[in-house]
Chain A
């Protein structure tokens, strides 16, 4: 579904990604792990169009993402849940979700998508008129994921969903991810919490200093010595 080939990307004179190639097949859950500053967030942004790659190709179901204007990438079916949630703090939960359904194709399905999201996150339904900025971290994460789901995407990009959340809440988030997956949604997760993410995805890549070092199934990675020593504290 999603195909990246030899992508270079960065900010100004600073390069963050060097020749990154990865792919995500329909229905899969893929993880990207790696230390702070590895370029994981840059990777997400280059896929969703917030920044543009310097070289390389990105294709979503065969469509060239690089040539698509940033605000039309969501129409290709890619929904990005940004790092740190990035909800609109002074909009209500419902208005935040409404923004998720902004594109023409999603507006007509607003009602049923809203029901779907409230089904998944009953707590959001309770707080639908509350200002998003006043909710707890975990609730905000759910709202952010819900907002991305409002457009009925084909591919969900999750950028560090566990960041700043208590372990119990992190657990809930990943359980939610599994539930969403079971509905057939394709997911690409970028995470620092290696344990949690490897148990939630089929395959994963290790990104260090802007290049892919290892890739394989989650079982392989969990068994790998490199991963165990560097990231699992074993």
Chain B
């Protein structure tokens, strides 16, 4: 172990592992977004804001109302799942046949609405769960349990979604509708209902992500701006609707952010990631055009 650590700079290794842990959560975020786009073919620009509301939800359930964590987390997931459902029912459904840009703009309106709602309802102060999880030390490296937990939960969530999509009728139907929505009625599938279910699942994933994020970061009405654009870039880079692509892109981005943050300020890590994105556009635009079908 000592010899191994001498070859690699310890902080580099820590950054790499940290990046992997971060990648897990980013991959979960990307999954939710890709699900909605891959299946319903709409982009929820307000996805990060749904997560923000979820973060407030867990905060209020756990830190304010004293609901025990094992109950608060499922409640939070259900809360955001319902939000996803409402989003589709009220905003997306009327616009299913409109130009995609209109769908984007409508969800932009929801973004605005949710941010302002949070500002009005919760105030602009930063809130924290107040949980201090211990730090795991391996050699000279330190990892917060929160991040570890988040990584495991994210992987768990993705596995659960994978099993659902491959082992159940509804899950298979969701995969099918992404490939050919017009013939779904021939098999007895109510397209509308399936979209609502998908929206609820997308919301539920956001709710799970919210729980994992609020463990590590403070919540405030504009916290969505910290990870929203990144999530989009990851999805677009991996190909909107491409689940594997999003998964890979998430870990790639996480590494860039982590390593960039190691050598400089955190923001430069993000700048590097964004710049990488633009360079990728020059080099491999197919990555951007490789959407489903």
Chain A interface residues (CB < 8 Å from chain B): 48-50, 69-75, 79-80, 82, 86, 88-91, 95, 98-100, 102-103, 107, 147, 151
C-alpha gap A50/B191 in the complex (Å): 12
Residue ID in chain B nearest A71 by CB atoms: B185
Chain B contacts of A82 at CB under 8 A? Answer: 183, 186
Query: B186 touching A50 by the CB < 8 A rule?
Result: yes
Q: Mark B176-202, 1 if CB is under 8 A from A, else 0.
A: 100110111111111100000000000
Residue ID in chain A nearest B194 by CB atoms: A71
Chain A contacts of B176 at CB under 8 A? Answer: 88, 91, 95, 99
Task: Sample 8 A-B pairs with CB under 8 A, ordered by A number.
Answer: A71-B190, A89-B179, A91-B179, A99-B173, A99-B176, A102-B188, A147-B187, A151-B188
Query: B185 touching A49 by the CB < 8 A rule?
Result: yes
Query: A98 touching B185 by the CB < 8 A rule?
Result: no
Does B169 have its Cβ within 8 Å of any Cβ on chain A? Answer: yes
Knowing A88-B175, A98-B169 are in contact, say whether A103-B187 is a contact too (CB < 8 A). yes
> How many whole Å from B197's CB to the nearest CB in chain A?
13
Residue ID in chain B nearest A107 by CB atoms: B169
Query: A99 touching B172 by the CB < 8 A rule?
Result: yes
Taking each of A48, A75, A102, A103, which has the highest tally of chain B beta carbons within 10 Å of its own beta carbon?
A102
> How many whole Å from A222's CB to the nearest CB in chain B?
32
Query: B175 touching A74 by the CB < 8 A rule?
Result: no
Query: B188 touching A103 by the CB < 8 A rule?
Result: yes
List 11 extra interface pairs beyond A80-B186, A99-B187, A147-B187, CB under 8 A: A48-B186, A49-B185, A50-B185, A73-B185, A86-B183, A88-B175, A88-B176, A99-B173, A102-B169, A102-B189, A103-B187
Knowing A88-B176, A95-B172, A98-B169 are in contact, say whether A71-B182 is a contact too (CB < 8 A). no
> How many whole Å from B157's CB to the nearest CB in chain A?
23
> How many whole Å from B170's CB to the nearest CB in chain A?
9
Query: A90 touching B185 by the CB < 8 A rule?
Result: no
Residue ID in chain B nearest A104 by CB atoms: B188
Query: B182 touching A88 by the CB < 8 A rule?
Result: no
Chain B contacts of A74 at CB under 8 A? Answer: 185-188
C-alpha gap A100/B187 in the complex (Å): 6
Chain A contacts of B179 at CB under 8 A? Answer: 88-91
Residue ID in chain B nearest A86 by CB atoms: B183
Chain A contacts of B189 at CB under 8 A? Answer: 71, 99, 102
> How many whole Å from B183's CB to the nearest CB in chain A?
5
C-alpha gap A228/B188 in the complex (Å): 40
C-alpha gap A86/B279 in the complex (Å): 38
Query: A91 touching B187 by the CB < 8 A rule?
Result: no
Query: B187 touching A102 by the CB < 8 A rule?
Result: yes
Query: B169 touching A72 by the CB < 8 A rule?
Result: no
> How many whole Å from A1's CB to the nearest CB in chain B?
18
Query: B186 touching A75 by the CB < 8 A rule?
Result: no
Chain A contacts of B182 at CB under 8 A? Answer: 50
> How many whole Å from A47's CB to the nearest CB in chain B?
11
Residue ID in chain B nearest A94 by CB atoms: B172
C-alpha gap A41/B75 in the complex (Å): 49
C-alpha gap A79/B185 in the complex (Å): 11
Q: Return the 6 tightest CB-CB contacts between A and B, nearest first.
A: A103-B188, A70-B185, A71-B185, A74-B188, A88-B179, A88-B176
> How many whole Å from A203's CB to the nearest CB in chain B?
25
Query: B186 touching A98 by the CB < 8 A rule?
Result: no
C-alpha gap A98/B186 in the complex (Å): 13
> How many whole Å from A143's CB to the nearest CB in chain B?
13
> How many whole Å from A116's CB to the nearest CB in chain B?
17
> How many whole Å from B38's CB to the nearest CB in chain A?
11
Cβ contact of B173, chosen from A48, A75, A90, A102, cutoff 8 A: A102
Q: Mark B236-271, 1 if CB is under 8 A from A, else 0.
A: 000000000000000000000000000000000000
Chain B contacts of A80 at CB under 8 A? Answer: 186
Cβ contact of A71, chosen from B169, B172, B191, cutoff 8 A: B191
> How many whole Å from A130's CB to the nearest CB in chain B?
15
Query: A71 touching B180 by the CB < 8 A rule?
Result: no
Chain B contacts of A107 at CB under 8 A? Answer: 169
Chain B contacts of A50 at CB under 8 A? Answer: 182-183, 185-186
Chain B contacts of A89 at CB under 8 A? Answer: 179, 293
> How many whole Å from B198's CB to the nearest CB in chain A?
16
> How many whole Å from B187's CB to the nearest CB in chain A?
5
C-alpha gap A88/B179 in the complex (Å): 6
Chain B contacts of A151 at CB under 8 A? Answer: 187-188
Query: B175 touching A71 by the CB < 8 A rule?
Result: no
Query: A91 touching B175 by the CB < 8 A rule?
Result: yes
Taking each of B179, B182, B187, which has the highest tally of chain A beta carbons within 10 Å of its own beta carbon?
B187
> How many whole Å from A58's CB to the nearest CB in chain B?
15
